[in-house]
Structure 1
Amino acid sequence: MPELPEVEALRGFLGERVVGEVVEKVYAVGVHALKTYEPGVAVLEGRRVDEVGRFGKFLGLRAGDVWLVMHLARGGWVRWSDAVPEAPPRPGKGPLALRVRLAGGAGFDVTEAGTQKRLAVHMVRDPAEVPGIARLGPDPLAAAFTPEVFAGLLAGERRQIKGVLRDQSVIAGIGNAYSDEILHAARMSPFLLAANLTPEQVARLYELIGTTLRDAVERSRGLPLRDLKAEKKSGLRVHGRKGEPCPVCGDTVREVSYRDSALQYCPTCQTGGKPLADRRMSRLLK
């Protein structure tokens, strides 16, 4: 699933190529992805793109007074082409959900792999009309996200820190992968209760949220879109690396599986050498 660093890279990539260009044609191939119908996507045609923005894990293009807002979910992606076919794409069961062709012939496809169709496309006058954006917490890369703001978000929070970091209404943009990476860098168990963190732990976690995300953004900057997924994977130290040695201590990276996701962690670095029980509300095994 694309998270803040990847969506920020997509924002930068598209911003360099589409801002100032006129949209010639928009094809909504995957009707399932459309979450709004008024205005329709055709309202973009003939308009000049003014900006490309990011809202947490949402990507948006503004043309005049309308926004095309996309959430790529688990299997979505953006594919750029310097020469988009002029012929309309054929509707079908393939991965193509949306095609945007610019007046100069270039453009991009929005695709979704897999059978679970969760990609969401919205046409709105204001990004805040998108429910997922309206409920977003502060952006961790924004200047307003200060240590004091972060400490306030955790105060009284009785949930596990892993879940808090992933909650988009608390902090915008962090998902399963980067929450694993942040907690590994902070040497914290994903099952620690957020409200029980010491001031020193809160300060360390705040610092590592910023450095982890900014480092990932810098690694992705300027890369072709086709290389962004591989870059994300290559930069991860524990997430998705079950059974591999931890690059810090050499212990075996372990996993806790849930119904539709999994987390990875290093016992030596994060839980005092004790494995976590593989069930949702587990506590450390004794």
Structure 2
Amino acid sequence: MPELPEVAALTDFLDKHLRGAVVTQVQIVSFAVLKTADPPFAELEGRAVAGVQRYGKFVALEADGLYFVFHLARAGWVRFTESPTATHLKMGKGNLAARLTFSSAAGPLGVDLTEAGTKKSLAIYVVRDPSEIPGIAALGPDPFSPGFDVETLAGILGSSSQQVKGLLRSQSVIAGIGNAYSDEILHAARISPFAIARTLDRDAVGVLYGAIHSVLGTALQEAGGKPPNELKDTKRSHLRVHARTGQACPVCGDTVREVSFADTSLQYCPGCQTKGKILADRRTSRFLK
């Protein structure tokens, strides 16, 4: 799933290439992805792109007072082309969810929204104000917003009896962090993913705050300036524990372990994060504290 660093890089790329371009056509290939009916998506056509912004993991393309907003979910992605075809698309069951074409000073441009797999959760909205979208209205603070300081994080953690892994992933608590970077942040902070948030002492909160910024900041630097087709590989290249089950931890050399749930999994290093303890039965054993 694309998270804050990839979505930020994608937003910057689209803003650079689409700002000032005119929307010539919007095609929705799967109406299941379109979550709004008013205003109609066809009203975007003929409008000039004023800019592209990020809200958590949402990308919002502003076109003369209307916003085309999308959330890529788990398996969604963007294909950008400087030579789009004029083909009229038919509704289908393939990976293509929507296509936008543009006219710019540099020539025609195209953006495809795609989604792999059978479980479709990519979402598209056409709205007059991004705050009309429930997922955006409910977002917590962005980790790089001026108001997100160590005191803010301490308040969030201190008031929650949730496991810290789940708390970091909750978009209504902190915007933009997902499964992969929560694994990476907790590994960098040497904190168990099963630790209860309110039990973290002041030193641990400070370390976690630093890890949020160092992990996401490094990923932002790595992703910056890259086109969409390179962002997934860039993300994978610097992950230390996420999706690396069975490999050696690059910090301590212990074996990276996994905990599986119904529709997701997490990875952690016992040597770095749980004092060497391993969750024996990943689905039924009692969580480490």
Determine if the TM-score, normalized by the shorter chain, exceeds 0.5: yes
How far apart in 2 are the matches of 1:191 and 1:227? 33
Per-residue CA distance 1:196-235 (angstroms, 9 max, x = gap): 0000000110111011111101101111211110110111
Amino acid across the alignment from 2:245? K
Match for 1:250 among 249, 253, 259?
A: 253
RMSD: 1.2
Alpha-carbon distance between aligned partners in 1 of 2:229 and 2:65, rounded to the nearest angstrom: 31
Hey, what's the Cα distance between the residues in 2 that align with 1:281 and 1:199?
29
For the pair 1:261 / 2:233, whether they are aligned, the reply is no
2:114 to 107, 111, 116: 111
Matched residue type, 2:36: T
Structure 2 length as normaliser, TM-score? 0.96
Q: 1:41 Cα shift? A: 1.3
Counterpart position of 1:162: 165
Say which SS state the counterpart of residue 108 (structure 2) adopts. coil
Q: What CA distance in whole angstroms lies between the structure 2 residues aligned with 1:282 and 1:230? A: 35
Secondary structure of 1:106's counterpart equals strand
Which of 196, 200, 203 pairs up with 1:193?
Answer: 196
Measured in 2, the distance between the counterparts of 1:81 and 1:190 equals 40
Partner of 1:282: 286
Report how far residue 248 of structure 1 moved.
Answer: 0.6
Note closer, same or farther for the CA distance 1:16–1:280 as it changes in structure 2 (3 Å cut): farther
In the alignment, structure 1 segments of 5+ residues that lack a partner are none
Is the counterpart of residue 270 in structure 1 residue 273 in structure 2?
yes
Cα distance in 2, alignment partners of residues 231 and 282 from structure 1: 35
For normalisation by structure 1, the TM-score amounts to 0.97
User: Which digits, 9 at most, give the CA deviation of each residue in 1:152-183, with x for residues without a partner?
Assistant: 11112101100100011100000000000000
Cα distance between partner residues in 2 of 1:281 and 1:120: 36
* Counterpart check, 1:5 vs 2:9: no
Between Structure 1 and Structure 2, how many residues are aligned?
285
Q: Which amino acid aligns with 1:192?
A: A
Q: 2:128 aligns with which of 125, 129, 146?
A: 125
Moved more, 86-95 or 174-183: 86-95
| Structure 2 counterpart of 1:206 | 209
CA shift digits 1:87-118 (9 cap, x unpaired): 21232111111101002321110000000010
**Other-structure match for 2:33:** 33
AA of the residue aligned to 1:81: T
CA gap 1:280/1:63 in 2 versus in 1, 3 angstroms? farther
